[in-house]
Amino acid sequence: MSAFTFNTASSIVFGEGASERIGELASLRLGKRIVFVTDPGLQKAGLMDAALASLAKAGIEVAVFSDVVADPPESVVLAATQLAIDFGADGVIGFGGGSSLDVAKLVALLAAGHDTLAASYGVGKAKGPRLPLLLVPTTAGTGSEVTPIAIVTTGESEKMGVVTPDILPDIALLDPKLTYGLPPHITAATGIDAMVHAIEAYASTSANNNPVSRALALEALRLMGGALERAVKKCDDHAARADMLLGSMLAGQAFANSPVASVHALAYPIGGHFHIPHGLSNALVLPHVLRFNAVTAGHLYAEIAPYAFPNLAEIGVQARAELFAERMADLSQRCGLQQRLRDVGIPQDALTLLTDDAMKQTRLLVNNPRPMSRDDIFEIYRQAW
């Protein structure tokens, strides 16, 4: 067995209503002055009210930063960091989707005063230490609550990542109750995103692909394969919501240590240029990347396919791998997601631009189980269009 390293959050708290105990948890680990990072939609919906009440009851002073937007630009990260510095924050709470959690990670890192954002981009560039950090996901998709990665939009469309174990939280708090009101299209897109995390972690060619990540990826696919469509079509299926949230977290732990690959590399330019949600961007290219990779990685897809789709277990290896791509596309369609790039308003003459930007995602492309040339990427986008 090859040597590997596996890092994750120090503590994971899971349970319906767990966010109502956030004051008790924060007082033990985060201090008495906390910056609470979220987005305006969650603030308006009142989803964070119980958490804020719990913090107040624990005697914790809170400064709320609620200006997080999807695909957060550097300006949002820096504004939230300045608030934390001015407030004299002892700790940081991230509450929301992946964007809010990513911003909170970076605020905890930057407000400690040892790092700058510009110098932190890349793998292992940040020095740390950070402020104490607690993350609360309100979607079942990104797994950001247990990943050492934060993605920032730089310039007009390019995305860059800060990758360091220093931004893994002290506490990941998962409360399925917070996901009960998610609209079907968000449930679908974030759910496919989480399944992609598990798929790519399992098949990653990273030198750190490891037995722990693979086991977590398989369990994530088992949970989410049986729950996603139920969660999309019946919003009050609380068991499905819980399975999705736990599955998303397990997939996050998997890809945090065995990194994702070309699905994400091709998805990032779609989101960056056309502001398509990240989960949907993944869904649009997923089946085409799977078919491309199945030429050399068919045995890997055959291994994972029955966990998501148990009725594929008795089919031959290569046929099972090919059917896995079709079943993922069918699941996406049944959940109501658009299937073609043209369906989300991307013109055919943009495929060259997308290809050029995808080629820059070397950090991800290197993990793909089949090497991709520029022509390969363009052809995948063409098939997806």
Looking at domain 11-178, its CATH class is alpha beta
Task: Please identify, in words, the CATH class of the domain defined by 182-384.
Answer: mainly alpha
Helix/strand/coil (H/E/C) assignment for every residue in the chain: CCCCCCCCCCEEEECCCHHHHHHHHHHHHCCCEEEEECCHHHHHHCCCHHHHHHHHHCCCEEEEECCCCCCCEHHHHHHHHHHHHHHCCCEEEEEECHHHHHHHHHHHHHCCCCCCHHHHCEECCCCCCCCCEEEEECCCCCCHHHCCEEEEEECCCEEEEEECHHHCCCEEEECHHHHCCCCHHHHHHHHHHHHHHHHHHHHCCCCCCCHHHHHHHHHHHHHHHHHHHHHHHCCCCHHHHHHHHHHHHHHHHHHHHCCCCHHHHHHHHHHHHHCCCHHHHHHHHHHHHHHHHHHHHHHHHHHHHHHHCHHHCCCCHHHHHHHHHHHHHHHHHHCCCCCCHHHHCCCHHHHHHHHHHHCCCHHHHCCCCCCCCHHHHHHHHHHHC
Question: What pLDDT is stored for residue 235 in this prediction?
Answer: 81
Low-confidence ranges of the chain (pLDDT < 70): none
pLDDT in tens, 22-45: 999 999 999 999 999 999 999 999
pTM above 0.85, yes or no: yes
- pLDDT value of position 231: 96
CATH 3.40.50.1970 in the chain is located at: 11-178
pLDDT of residue 128: 86
Task: State the pLDDT at residue 79.
Answer: 98
Within the chain, all domains assigned CATH 1.20.1090.10 are found at 182-384
| Predicted pLDDT at 103 | 98
* Residue 71, pLDDT score: 86
